[in-house]
Amino acid sequence: MNEIVKERGVETSYDPLNPEVTSRPYPHYAELRAKAPVQWVESMQGFVISKWDDVQAILTNGKIFSSAQFWPELLGEYDPVPEVQPMISLDPPHHMKTRKLANKAFVPSRVGALNDKIYDTANQLIDDIIERHGNEGNIDFVWEFSALFPVSVVAEVIGVDLARRVEFKHWVDDLLSAGNRASYGPERLAEIEKSSKSIREYFEQVYEARLAEPKDDLISGFIAAEVKGERLSKSEVLNLAILLLIGGVETTTNLLGITFAHLKNHPEAYAAIREDHAKIPMMLEEMLRFDGPVQMLFRHTTEDTEVRGVSIPENTLVMLLLGSANHDEDAFEDSESFIYDRAPSEIMSFGQGPHFCLGSYLSRMEAKAALETLLTRFSELMPTEENVTWSDSYFARGPKTLPVKFKVR
Q: In angstroms, rounded to a whole number, what is the distance separating the alpha carbons of residues 404 and 182?
A: 34
Least separation in angstroms between residue 134's CB and ligand HEM is: 31
Least separation in angstroms between residue 243's CB and ligand HEM is: 5
* Interhelix angle 360-377/234-263, nearest 10 degrees: 40
Least separation in angstroms between residue 189's CB and ligand HEM is: 25
The residue number whose beta carbon is nearest to ligand HEM equals 359
Q: In angstroms, rounded to a whole number, what is the distance separating the alpha carbons of residues 197 and 79?
A: 9
Taking the least distance from each CB to ligand HEM, the nearer of 207 and 350 is: 350
Query: Helix, strand or coil for residue 218?
Result: helix
Least separation in angstroms between residue 247's CB and ligand HEM is: 3
In which order are the strands placed within the sheet that holds 136-140?
Answer: 136-140, 403-408, 378-383
Q: In angstroms, rounded to a whole number, what is the distance separating the alpha carbons of residues 162 and 157?
A: 10
Cβ density class 44-61: b for 16+ within 10 Å, e for less = bebbbbbbbebbbbbbee
Taking the least distance from each CB to ligand HEM, the nearer of 294 and 371 is: 294
Taking the least distance from each CB to ligand HEM, the nearer of 176 and 243 is: 243
**185 exposure class (CB count in 10 Å sphere: 0-12, 13-18, 19+):** exposed
Least separation in angstroms between residue 222's CB and ligand HEM is: 12
Q: In angstroms, rounded to a whole number, what is the distance separating the alpha carbons of residues 88 and 345?
A: 24
Taking the least distance from each CB to ligand HEM, the nearer of 37 and 292 is: 292
Q: Quick one: DSSP state of residue 353?
A: G
Least separation in angstroms between residue 139's CB and ligand HEM is: 22
Least separation in angstroms between residue 80's CB and ligand HEM is: 15
Taking the least distance from each CB to ligand HEM, the nearer of 311 and 360 is: 360
Q: Determine contact, residues 55/355, Cβ cutoff 8 Å.
A: no
Taking the least distance from each CB to ligand HEM, the nearer of 100 and 407 is: 100
Least separation in angstroms between residue 186's CB and ligand HEM is: 31
Cα separation of the two ends of the chain: 60
Least separation in angstroms between residue 383's CB and ligand HEM is: 20
Taking the least distance from each CB to ligand HEM, the nearer of 177 and 363 is: 363
Least separation in angstroms between residue 70's CB and ligand HEM is: 6
CB atoms within 10 A of CB 63: 9
Q: In angstroms, rounded to a whole number, what is the distance separating the alpha carbons of residues 261 and 19?
A: 19
Taking the least distance from each CB to ligand HEM, the nearer of 36 and 323 is: 323
Task: Give the residues lining the site for ligand HEM (CB under 6 A).
Answer: 59, 67, 70, 87-88, 99, 154, 243-244, 247-248, 251-252, 255, 292-294, 297, 349-351, 355, 357-359, 362-363
Q: Distances from the Cα of 97 to the Cαs of 18, 36, 157, 230, in angstroms? A: 39, 38, 21, 9
Q: Where are the alpha helices (DSSP H) in 64-148?
A: 70-75, 94-105, 108-112, 115-133, 141
C-alpha angle 45-49-51 in degrees, rounded to nearest 5: 165
Q: In angstroms, rounded to a whole number, what is the distance separating the alpha carbons of residues 382 and 406?
A: 7
Taking the least distance from each CB to ligand HEM, the nearer of 36 and 87 is: 87
Taking the least distance from each CB to ligand HEM, the nearer of 88 and 206 is: 88
Q: How far is CA 175 from the centre of its chain?
A: 13
